[in-house]
Every structure is written in structure tokens, then in C-alpha cells.
Amino acid sequence: MFIRILQGRVADPAGVRAELERWRREVAPDVPGWQRLTAGVTEDRELVALFRYAGRATAGIGLAGQAAWERAVGRHLDGPATWHDCTQVYAMKGGDADDAGFVQVVQGRLADPVRLAAARVEVERTLRERAPHVLGVLVAEHADEPGGFTEVSYVTSRHEARAAERAMPVDVAVQLGMVRSYVEGLRFVELREVLLARPAVPVP
């Protein structure tokens, strides 16, 4: 699995949304490895878009259509775009879900990647057994930024996410605190009007 992450301050939300829809319609069909697009704009107008592929070789990097699209979407941003290429990607509970109603994003730096990797199995067990509102989680490490990562959680709804936070059992809170101690500089954002798209299933 390979993920490219696009971020930037948005000057024209409607223009950005139109370009994302155009990428799905016009650019993605020429990219054989495309698996998923997750994109949205935060309350303070920051675009976060994850393009998920089967691998780097099938991500269409360098294609004329992709390059032209990147220039086009950049015209709707207030400043330069930032791209993160991620070759190390970890999926929990299947990674993502078509029926997610809410997407949470966490970014930061790995302070203790060895302990974090060791804890990942227990974290996924907790998610499967005690967090039905979490449909899937992707953790992508930034190849261009040593230690940097983006974590994306696909959740049933904002309401259920807030309810789960208020009713979190003590032992789950302790586990979460332990995991958070293995990272630093955490930044939390929420995506609004999320675009979730994947290739259409061919009709026999």
C-alpha cells in the first residue's frame, strides 16, 4: 500500500471540491493502482486529501494528467501545497469504510516507534472489541519527513465519536495515554463534508 497526502490552506473551498471530483472522474481512471480517495476541509480551511494506491509504482506519479491536476488544484489554495509520500502504511479494522460519516485526522512525530509498533496489535484488538463507532484506521508514515505520520480514523458519526469519548472506560483511556506517550507534537483536525471515493466496480 502507498499513500500520498495533500495539504494546503484553502482559498476557494468550492473550487477545491470541484477539482477533487474532477480528479476522481478524469485523472483516477488512468491510474491503475488507485484504491481510495479521502478528502475534506477543516473548519479553519485546511485541505487534507489522502490518495491511496496499491503501491508506489502504480500511483501515476509523473503522469501528465496528474501534474496538470496538481497545478489546477493549487490555484484554489492560499499558498503552496504540501505533499507527503508514505510507503509505510498500517491499517486497522480494514483501514477505511465507505459508510463513514466522520473522519478524524491526527498528525505528529514518532517519539518511540519500537514501542508503538509493539502496542499496535493490542490497540487493534481494543478497536475491534470496544470501539464499534470506529470503522477503520490508517496510519501513514511520511517518507519525506523522518518520524512524521498521519493517522486517519473513519468513524460512524461525529455524535457517536463524542459520545464514545465521554464514556471511555478507564482501562481504554490508560491504553490511549500509553500510545500517545510514544508520539509527540500531536495535532488533531476534523474533516467536514468528506469526499470518500474508490474505483467503480466493473459491471460483468
Beta strands in the chain (DSSP E): 2-9, 34-41, 46-53, 82-86, 88-92, 102-110, 134-141, 148-155, 183-197
pLDDT of residue 202: 46
Helical ranges in 141-184 per DSSP H: 158-166, 170-180
Q: Give Cα 102 distance to the centre of its chain.
A: 12
| pLDDT for 2 | 95
Confidence of residue 201 (pLDDT cuts 50, 70, 90): low
Dihedral of alpha carbons 127, 106, 197, 92, sign: negative
In this predicted model, what pLDDT tens digit does every residue of 90-105 receive, in sequence order? Answer: 999 887 888 898 999 9
Four-point Cα dihedral 106, 89, 2, 54, nearest 10? -120
Query: In this predicted model, what pLDDT tens digit does every residue of 5-22 receive, in sequence order?
Result: 999 999 999 999 999 999
Tell me what the pLDDT averaged over the chain comes to: 91
Q: What's the pLDDT at 200? A: 78
